[in-house]
Structure 1
Amino acid sequence: MSSPAVTDTTPLLGGSNNTSSLPAKKRNALQRRLDSLTPLQSLFALLLLAATVFLGVYLMIKHTLPRDLSDEDRKWVKFPRNAEDVQHLSIILEAYLADHYFEVLTCFIVTYIALQAFAVPGSVMLSVLGGALFKFWVGLVVVLLCAGIGSLSCYFISLYLGHPIVEKYLEARIAKLHEKIESKKDQLFFYFAFLRVTPFIPNWFMNVASPHLGIPVTIFFFGTLVGVLPNTLVTVQAGVTLAALASPDDFTLLTPQNIIMTIVVGLCLLLPIVLHRHVEDPTATPKADDNSEQEDPLSRV
């Protein structure tokens, strides 16, 4: 079995990487410089990139969302950490959303992708907020695409900037998982989607480790969409319900959408069972092969 490709920082899609538009000399010089980063330099580069991105997100939100709010409402304009925060924030943004729909949508998308790109916790509450603001179907599509694009951003950040840190601190975990990946190459999509659906391995670790495990970009992206679908369905629907609770007169349980949602969630919860037929738990202890030790029953005759 081949050794883990934890030190390979070559883009998996050879000709379609994000430096392909550069001249060959500049591209090679850039790649060599990225390859020669130390863990400390890598950490500094990641912190600088994250600070720049989140500063941009903060300034965008500050100049886009409503500012003429009362002191009572202003205290709820913050990153939601629980259901109460989501409910109050959705109420405040509801009237503003009617005249500034795409501005709010852009702020939501950029914030969600930034959190996913740098593996920052908080995407669950943003998914709930997406359901509360944009309702079920739009919220579902938006959150799914944000999760996929954000995870893909984390994939490339890990590939180009984070590999020294990954090699130093995650090499053992990646090496263990790499053996499983190598043995499932013929059904890699099902195996990767299964790992995304189940809680065996944290999603942030899969985002960071996938480029060093040899997971192709297409399998990573679409496998991520399949893997986060059940959780996204539940969180977006929770946001829709939470928004409805803010207006009790408009709330009704037995709507066609809620019935369809219940059926879809039920089917999605069966997804791990279906995928498990193709794969095995990577954290399970391998069973000993006792075939060679079993005594031939005919030898007793």
Structure 2
Amino acid sequence: MHSSAPTDTTPLLSNNTTNNVDDKKGGVRQRLLKMTPLQSFITLLCLAATVALCVFLMLKYTLPRDLPDDQRKWIKFPRNAEDVQHLSIVLEAYLAQHYYQVLICFVTTYVSLQAFAVPGTVMLSVLGGALFKFWVGLAAVLFSCGFGALCCYTISYYLGYPIVEKYLRARMTKLQVKIDAKRDQLFFYFAFLRVTPFIPNWFMNVASCHLGIPVLVFFFGTLVGVLPNSLVTVQAGATLAALASPDDFTLFTPQNIIMTVVICICLLLPIILHRHADDPLATPKADSEEQEDPLARV
């Protein structure tokens, strides 16, 4: 664990191994790191606009267009249970003949939202369960969450550092201390952070590459971390079509809450056991060194 927090003039990634590799290669990232926050924001905005345009055109020319007016109005991004229920009904007949086209549209839209940390994926997960039923919907949502988060990780690694350094520095410095203290159990600790609501998912997607979290830990930790929420939302979507009214729809059932708590406990258990385990080869510490740093606590 670091003995002291970095000063305001010390970049967060000054000692990162990936930076040293890029220095040797003369990589593109070193040039991108020199951008101002405004230049970084404009570049991200242009990239997001390009991706949004591509997704819009794909949806426009893939989803059904010859629909009556009373059904056409439901071809839109779902924002609530009523939108999901009507959209799944409208696409039911089309889905039977164009299953894979609809699946590709769903995954591409989901990944695009995750890649740029755009909110609204909860109702999209519910739609996945309503359209593709439980198992296919769960697989599509998990893949989209994991791959979309990995895209956000990559975009932040190349383009987001000037913004992160200026606007998220204090928050990341505090989190860096905690992550460094849990390096031996990093996978379980990272997955636990993804499950709990203490740190927003968008922040973890943006910040992880700058905190020294390896790609594999990030990807598989994200899959484990989003599993409880995905199970809840996809199952809710699979049962939504059977409801007489979308007003009966709810995500917070006792079973869902218990399942989330159990998964959190399972992720915390290895950290707790490792923390209290005695290493027979360890050298006894002096009394002055036995005091635990409070910042290292979960």
Question: When the two structures are superposed, what TM-score results if normalisation uses the length of structure 2?
Answer: 0.81
2:224 aligned partner: 226
2:125 aligned partner: 127
CA distance in 1, matches of 2:20, 2:133: 40
2:98 aligned partner: 100
CA distance in 1, matches of 2:125, 2:193: 21
CA distance in 2, matches of 1:103, 1:13: 40
2:45 aligned partner: 47
Distance change in 2, residues 1:11/1:99 (3 Å): farther
Q: Find 2:13's aligned residue among 7, 17, 22.
A: 7
Is 2:232–2:256's contact at 8 Å kept on the other side of the alignment? no
Structure 1 runs of 4+ off > 6 angstroms?
262-265
Is 1:9–1:159's contact at 8 Å kept on the other side of the alignment? no
Q: Find 1:147's aligned residue among 137, 145, 148.
A: 145
2:243 aligned partner: 245
Q: RMSD value over aligned CA atoms? A: 2.8
1:18-167 matches, within 5 Å, as: 28=26, 30-167=28-165
SS of the equivalent of 1:76 reads coil
Q: Check if 1:215 corresponds to 2:213.
A: yes
Distance change in 2, residues 1:12/1:85 (3 Å): farther
Is 1:9–1:163's contact at 8 Å kept on the other side of the alignment? no
CA distance in 1, matches of 2:15, 2:93: 48
2:171 aligned partner: 173
CA distance in 2, matches of 1:168, 1:52: 25
Percent of residue pairs identical: 65
1:274 aligned partner: 266
Is 1:39–1:164's contact at 8 Å kept on the other side of the alignment? yes
Q: For structure 1, which runs of at least 5 residues remain unmatched after alignment? A: 18-23, 248-261, 281-288, 293-301
Is 1:12–1:211's contact at 8 Å kept on the other side of the alignment? no
Query: Following TM superposition, by how much is the alpha carbon of 1:7 offset from its aligned partner in structure 2, in angstroms?
Result: 3.2
SS of the equivalent of 1:77 reads coil
Question: When the two structures are superposed, what TM-score results if normalisation uses the length of structure 1?
Answer: 0.80
Is 2:16–2:212's contact at 8 Å kept on the other side of the alignment? no
Distance change in 2, residues 1:231/1:37 (3 Å): same
2:285 aligned partner: none
Query: Following TM superposition, by how much is the alpha carbon of 1:58 offset from its aligned partner in structure 2, in angstroms?
Result: 0.2
Distance change in 2, residues 1:170/1:94 (3 Å): same
The residue type equivalent to 1:67 in the other structure is R
CA distance in 2, matches of 1:72, 1:241: 24
CA distance in 1, matches of 2:257, 2:18: 34
Query: Following TM superposition, by how much is the alpha carbon of 1:273 offset from its aligned partner in structure 2, in angstroms?
Result: 1.4
Query: Following TM superposition, by how much is the alpha carbon of 1:277 offset from its aligned partner in structure 2, in angstroms?
Result: 3.1
CA distance in 1, matches of 2:271, 2:152: 25
Q: Deviations over 1:108-154 (max 9, x none)?
A: 00000000000001100000000000000000011001000000100
2:197 aligned partner: 199
CA distance in 1, matches of 2:58, 2:15: 33
CA distance in 2, matches of 1:145, 1:264: 21
The residue type equivalent to 2:102 in the other structure is V
Q: For structure 2, which runs of at least 5 residues remain unmatched after alignment? A: 246-253, 273-287, 292-298
The alignment of Structure 1 onto Structure 2 pairs a total of residues equal to: 261
CA distance in 2, matches of 1:131, 1:14: 44
Distance change in 2, residues 1:13/1:181 (3 Å): same
The residue type equivalent to 1:275 in the other structure is L
Q: Deviations over 1:229-260 (max 9, x none)?
A: 0000000001001122369xxxxxxxxxxxxx
Query: Following TM superposition, by how much is the alpha carbon of 1:76 offset from its aligned partner in structure 2, in angstroms?
Result: 0.7
CA distance in 1, matches of 2:129, 2:261: 19
Is 1:229–1:268's contact at 8 Å kept on the other side of the alignment? no
Query: Following TM superposition, by how much is the alpha carbon of 1:216 offset from its aligned partner in structure 2, in angstroms?
Result: 0.4
CA distance in 1, matches of 2:15, 2:146: 21
The residue type equivalent to 1:91 in the other structure is I
Is 1:77–1:89's contact at 8 Å kept on the other side of the alignment? yes
